[in-house]
Amino acid sequence: MYYASDKNVFDALIQHRVDSPTLAALFERRNMIVSKKTPRDDLAEYFSRLPHDYYDHKIISEKLGILPRRERTTSMDLVGTIDPEELKFALEEIKRQIVASGDVAHIVRNGNDFSLRIQYSLIDYKKTEFAQQQIKDGVVEFIKTSEGYLINNAQNDFMNAVRDEIVAKVDAVIPDEIERVTVNLYDVIDPKMRTRFFIELSTSLEGFSRRDVSDVYVYKPKLSADDEGLASDEHETHIEKVLLKGNGITRSSLLLDLVHEDAFYIFKMCWTAQRVLGNGDVISVEVLFADPISCTEFSILIKSVYPYVDGKLGKRRPPLKTEIDSMSRLIEKTAREQMQKLRAECTQGDE
């Protein structure tokens, strides 16, 4: 970020997120005491004319910066013979690159499982001067499986790039080829089958029953000029995405008309799942393909938990780490099974 001008400082200090104690602290650094009755605009105008240093900017930025939100997670299976020591070597190489770029990285090992924990910064110059930098934490997990390794990470460009660099380094040092397996419906072209994937995923989670579907996003790609049934008329109406929000969405005639008659298909769905056994808690989940055209970049977000107490649902709370991990792995496992089932049907149909 370039040096903030007096106007930048004034505009920042009059925002509500910069509270009165923060303003008072900024003046106290200059051995000044301010009255609580002094108007905010007067304090901001006076302070903006003073010399400012790095620590002033840091205090203001911490108040105006973007609050980190819990992100969706995605996973990839590495199928092949992978030596844990070779994976460790690749992780150390990536760690050195991350540290050299000014970010922070640590490697945690538990037996043959590894975690690369990263604290990195993102800059968005479209935002105001004191809100341009966002500090984020990310983890890439490598969990040993019978077939190789399962990789879990947040679904964003930075963490996906880190994961891919690690996989590329591992692939370069081992003699055998590594197969990368992700959940996707790239080969499943039929819109009805893509919709079926989400319906059956939400109803097939082992140990859970689907309680309600609250959000469904459907998509219909526009035909290019090279496709049959040209969509080249500039005046032609085309609706690409539709959001349906409410209760019991999958039973609505509107959704059924879209997916059956108009060739839309689901690419994102939010629903609540209730434990069949145990405490009966209700978990709210969101599942989507980030690329709706090809149905790739599958990701999961465990949104919240409604604890079941004394025969009724309690207030919503954030999910625990153990709940996020167990539910995400169950959804991922079920999604792979549904993907393989649909691909097998496509193969039989081609024959």
Q: How much is the average pLDDT of 338-345?
A: 93
3-state secondary structure of 263: coil
pLDDT, tens digit, 9 for 90 and up, residues 294-304: 999 999 999 99
Q: Supply 96's token pair.
A: 């050195």
Tell how far CA 284 is from the center of its chain: 15
The pLDDT of residue 308 is: 83
**Residue with the larger pLDDT of the pair 1 and 42:** 42
Sole residue written with tokens 């003073």 = 50
Confidence of residue 3 (pLDDT cuts 50, 70, 90): low
What percent of the chain has pLDDT above 70?
91
Can you spell out the DSSP letters for 70-86?
A: PPPEEEEEEES---HHH
Contacts for 340 with CB less than 8 Å, ≥ 6 apart: none
- The full 3-state SS of 7-50, as one line of letters, equals HHHHHHHCCCCCCHHHHHHHHHCCCCCCCCCCCHHHHHHHHHCC
Q: How much is the average pLDDT of 2-20?
A: 81
Q: How far apart are CA 20 and CA 15, in angstroms?
A: 11
Q: How much is the average pLDDT of 143-164?
A: 92
The pLDDT of residue 164 is: 94
Q: How much is the average pLDDT of 66-75?
A: 78
pLDDT, tens digit, 9 for 90 and up, residues 75-129: 999 998 899 999 999 999 999 999 998 899 999 999 999 999 999 887 767 766 6
Contact 119, 104 (CB under 8 A): yes
The pLDDT of residue 274 is: 93
